[in-house]
Structure 1
Amino acid sequence: MRVLGIDPGLTRCGFGAVDGGASRSAVFVGAGVITSSSADTIDQRLLEIHTGLEQVIEEYAPDILAVERVFSQNNVGTVMGTAQVSGLAIVLAAQRGIPVEMHTPSEVKRAITDNGRADKKQIQAVVARLLGLAEAPKPADAADAVAIAITQLWRGRGTVRLDRTGAARTSAQAQWADAERRARRSREASTSHW
């Protein structure tokens, strides 16, 4: 099985492809980044990322796309750009009939290093060791995308639990859905007082 990991970002969108081997091993296929200039307008930046993602998906022909899901960030602008690029990747996969899975950063850190708070250097070192590389793919966004792909290989599409609607979710996805529900209820409660 080939997994293409995507570390979405508007300035740098990392990608990394790995093939699943025997005994939970992963074989490095390729990695890199797609960039857009902050000097360009948002429509041009998204078009650049879209075009790059389309080429990467066509080149690597993944069986599944694994995208990082941002759980929370303080910088709203960064979250918006990340969400927009995530949407592009998901739509491109859907157009090709490629299944999509999402993983939070802490889920990836736990899967790769057994530590949900690992820093980027720890993740890069483990990724290089797991893949038998002299060093992790560069830049860091590419290494992160490879880590996302490895997480998908190891976690697979199996369910950890079902949400209230009966949909299969990993524990991180279930936590995300619960947080979204709580936030929605909180917004509804605060607007109903007006």
Structure 2
Amino acid sequence: MKQTETKAPSILAIDASLTFSGIAITTFSKEIIFLYTIKTSSENHIEQRILFVYKTLLKIIEEHNIKLLLVENNYTGGSKEVNWVIGIIYLLAAEKKIPIKSYAPASIKKAVTGNGRANKKEIKLAIQKIYGDLKTNEHVRDALGLVHCYCIKKSEVKTA
């Protein structure tokens, strides 16, 4: 994980998964600071994988001036492993006293593409229009989608 410490207040968006968690750190004006994917192997025991995700997220939080955490909510079910990672995110938010915002998958898709039922290809194209042609994976793009959703929702509140 190559990075430098961030001085500006920043947002940490996490596309939660036990296998591949997409990480995007941006300024509050959506300037990209750091993109990363936390990868764990199914060959390792669950508790080792959870600990690795926790320690990696903790390190990222401690090396950046994180003022807000963003996560996709998983209220409609999803895998128990995703819920474990979301639990880690909420635990870290509480430990570090960082506010957290969560958004429904359809809200994120609608903010990014204009369509709450957009597919991965549509999301990829929309993220490329917003952030440029990034050489990254769908997990990091989903994390960037969270940032974009937050910024859209924040601007809607200001204009209301």
TM-score normalised to structure 1 length: 0.70
Matched length: 149
Counting only pairs closer than 5 Å after superposition, residues 86-165 of structure 1 correspond to structure 2 as 86-131=86-131, 133=132, 135-156=133-154
CA distance in 2, matches of 1:57, 1:128: 26
Q: 1:19 is matched with which residue?
A: 27
Q: Secondary structure at the match of 2:25?
A: strand
What is the CA–CA distance in structure 2 between the aligned matches of 1:138 and 1:117, rounded to whole Å? 22
Structure 2: which 5+ runs fail to align? 1-8
Query: Which blocks of at least 5 consecutive residues in structure 1 are unaligned?
Result: 160-194
Would you say 1:70 and 2:62 are equivalent positions? no
Structure 1 residue 3 corresponds to structure 2 residue 11:
yes
- Paired position in structure 2 for 1:58: 62
**Which is greater in Rg?**
1
Whichever residue aligns with residue 113 of structure 1, its letter is T
Q: How far apart are residue 58 of structure 1 and its match?
A: 1.9
Q: Is the 8 A contact 1:54 1:92 kept in 2?
A: yes
Considering only aligned residues, what root-mean-square deviation do their CA atoms show, in Å? 2.0
Check if 1:30 corresponds to 2:40.
no
TM-score, normalised to structure 2, is 0.84
Determine helix, strand or coil for the equivalent of 2:142. Answer: helix
1:18-65 per-position Cα deviation (integer Å, ceiling 9, x unaligned): 2233xxxx2222211101110111110101111111122223322110
Counterpart CA distance in 1 for 2:85 and 2:155 is 23
The whole-number CA distance in structure 2 between the counterparts of 1:19 and 1:83 is: 27
Identity of matched residues, %: 27
Letter in 1 for 2:63: E
- In the alignment, what sits opposite 2:79? 79
Which residue identity lines up with residue 32 of structure 2 in the other structure? F
Work out the CA distance in 2 between the residues paired with 1:33 and 1:148. Answer: 15
In 2, Cα distance between equivalents of 1:37 and 1:95: 26
Q: CA deviation at 1:158?
A: 8.2
